Amino acid sequence: MKRGPRERYYYLIAKGTLEELVEEFSEETKRREVEQLDIIYVNGRYVLSAVTKNKKSQETD
């Protein structure tokens, strides 16, 4: 995870199964709103890239 401008968070996660990928991403983003989500399958691994932001910061925007 990398923190970006305006309280946005960028994720790049790779796992062997889709279940592992979703489980880790769900745990990481419990209190965040997903703005963009992409999942691809490359070389036998699922790769997720996502942009999220805190739910609180959306209320004040």
Q: Which tens digits make up the pLDDT trace of 4-55? A: 556 788 999 999 999 999 999 999 898 899 999 999 999 999 999 999 998 8
Q: What integer pLDDT is reported at residue 4 of this predicted model?
A: 57
C-beta atoms surrounding 32 within 10 Å: 20
Q: How far apart are CA 11 and CA 9, in angstroms?
A: 7
**Gyration radius (Cα) of the chain, Å:** 12
The two beta strands, 32-42 and 45-54, are antiparallel
Instruction: Indicate yes or no: pTM above 0.85.
Output: no
Question: How buried is 50 (Cβ within 10 angstroms: 0-12 exposed, 13-18 middle, 19+ buried)?
Answer: buried
DSSP structural state of residue 5: G
